[in-house]
Every structure is written in C-alpha cells, then in structure tokens.
Chains A and B, each alone.
Chain A
Amino acid sequence: MLASMLRPDDLNLPLFVHVLGAMILVGGLLATSTSVIVARGDVRTLRIGVMTLLFVCLPGYIVMRGGAQWIYSREHLDQLDEDPAWIGIGYITADAGALLLIISLILGGLGLRRVRGGGGTGLLRASLIISVVLLAAYVVAIWAMGAKPA
C-alpha cells in the first residue's frame, strides 16, 4: 500500500474506492471459500457462504469495478496503444469474475430455495466452489496490481 509514489493526487479518491471495493470483495470471497471448506455438508454454514456472496461480494465487486473504470479513464489509460500486462490481468479477472460471480449467485439462490425441500446442498457447494476459484484469481490480480509485471 506504499504504492505508486509518483501517482497524481487526483487519482487518490478513485484508487481508494477501487482498493476498498477489492478488499471487501476478497474478504467476502475468503468467507464464502472458508464456509464451503469447513461446512462438511452443514447447510447452516453453506447458507452463511451464499448470503455473504450476495451481501458482501456483490457490492464489493461493483465498488471495485467502478473504481477501476474511474482510474482507467482519469489516467487516460484508454489512450495507450496496448494495455500493459497488469491491466490485462485486471480486466480478465474482473470481467470473467463478474460472470462467475453471477453464476455462483444463481446456483446459490437455487440451492437455498431447494434446501427448504430437503435438497440443494450440491448446488450450494457448487456455488461456493466457484468462489474458491474466484479467490485464487483475485490473489493473482492483486499480485499483478502490486508488482505491475511488464
């Protein structure tokens, strides 16, 4: 977080929004990933994971993605001939991550509905396993944002 000593001051607010959203998103994903790992079929624990996806990860994603686009336009990165690798990694993880997050939320919602009828555990587990994949992808993205390779 000691990042970018030469960063212009007018990027501070968008960067704060982006990093805060990303931290909320990653925190939510850690909670959902943990819930699927420690649940051992316990529906209560799986339910906590799915609710975290909806009420923590989704808002975190929206704030993170909004902040990223704000920085991208304010820093005029859209005028570069070719995006640097770290921006490419960021875009891939953010946009593919959005798709996976939506799929995960749909599976989780269906799972929660079926739990009332005695089933749905598999759907809940599938929903949360996607969050483990997302968490791994975002760890790579955080590394890329910090180290800025190439």
Chain B
Amino acid sequence: MELNDWLLALHLLSAFSLVAAMIVFWVGIVVIRRTDLPEQVVAAGRLFPVAAVAVAVGSLGTIIFGIWLAISLDGVAVWSGWVIAAIILWAIGTETGRRGGTYFGTAIDRATESVASGSTAPDAKLAELARTQHGLLLHSISSLAILLILIDMIWKPGA
C-alpha cells in the first residue's frame, strides 16, 4: 500500500467518524425532544460526550487528510472548485454543529442538576429547553452541510 492509499483510508475513516457522531447527536436530540423527564434527558445526554470526541476526531481528520490527499494526488488541487466548496461546507458544518450543541447542553445540564437533587418529576422548563428551535435548526444546517460535502466528494462538480 502506498501513502495515498493510507491517506484515503484515514480520510474515509474520519468522514465516517464525523457522520457517525452527527447521527449519535440526532439520536440524542430525538430522545430529548420527546420527553420532559430529567432521567430520560440524562440517559440520552450520556451519548453526547462520546459523540463530541468522534466529531472532533472526524472533523480534524477529514480536513487534514483531505487537504494532504489533494496535495498528494495528481490531477487534484487544493484550489479546485469542488475542493474549495468542500472546505467551505466543512467550516459551515462544524461551526453550526458546535453552536447547536450548546443549546442541547443547557437542557442536559438542567436535567443532570434535577436528578442530582433527587427531582425526577416532569419539568416544563426542561421540556422548553430541550425543544429549542435554534438548536434544532443549527444541527439541521450542520447535517445538511455534511450531506452536501458527501455529494460534492462523489460527483466532484467541475473536476
């Protein structure tokens, strides 16, 4: 196996890590939005730290190995339109994902405090925090950006 084969494999594994993290966040968000019980929110919130690690590894890995591969491969340049588009979408996806996560983090923090103090009854304020439209919108934009990167990488418009 040559260096480019390894770079491609690592780039692909990073991309899977990024999308997998996004799906874990979606699973958690769906669960959190459907309940007003602190214990249920805490249960879903347990998924988030692992997803946060996966998203960090995935987002850094995709950009580092992706640019390295674009430099290393013949016939591909970092300034190619589809590569620049992917980098812009990557920036949009990671930043909106990061901002969206803070909204759901607030709900998880409140649920954790409630459970720690022994309060497990339905909490209207918690439900309001968990059903944040801003958080949902930002996570949706982030997911759409990642989906567009996948389309861009496969079709390579202008290549």
Contact = CB atoms under 8 A, between A and B. Distances in A.
Partners in one complex: yes
A58 interface: no
B12 interface: yes
Contacts of A15: 154
Interface stretch (A22-30, A72-80, A90-98, A117-125): A22-30
A5 to B, nearest CB: 6
Contact of B47 (A34, A56, A139, A145): A34
A48 B43 contact: yes
Contacts of A148: 5
Given A1-B15, A23-B16, A44 B150 contact: no
B9 to A, nearest CB: 4
A141 B48 CA distance: 25
A39 interface: yes
Interface in A30-55: 30-31, 34-35, 37-39, 42, 44-45, 48, 52
Given A2-B69, A44-B40, A31 B24 contact: yes
B50 interface: yes
Contact of A30 (B1, B21, B153): B21
Interface stretch (B70-78, B92-100, B133-141): B70-78
Contacts of A146: 5, 8-13
Interface in A1-23: 1-3, 5, 12, 15-16, 19-20, 22-23
Contacts of B8: 2-3, 146-147
Given A38-B50, A52-B27, A146-B13, A1 B154 contact: yes
B151 interface: yes
A56 B11 contact: no
A145 B12 CA distance: 9
In the A-B complex, the 6 residue pairs with the smallest Cβ-Cβ separation, listed nearest first, are: A27-B23, A146-B9, A1-B153, A146-B12, A44-B43, A147-B9
7 contacts: A1-B11, A2-B11, A3-B153, A23-B16, A27-B23, A30-B54, A42-B46
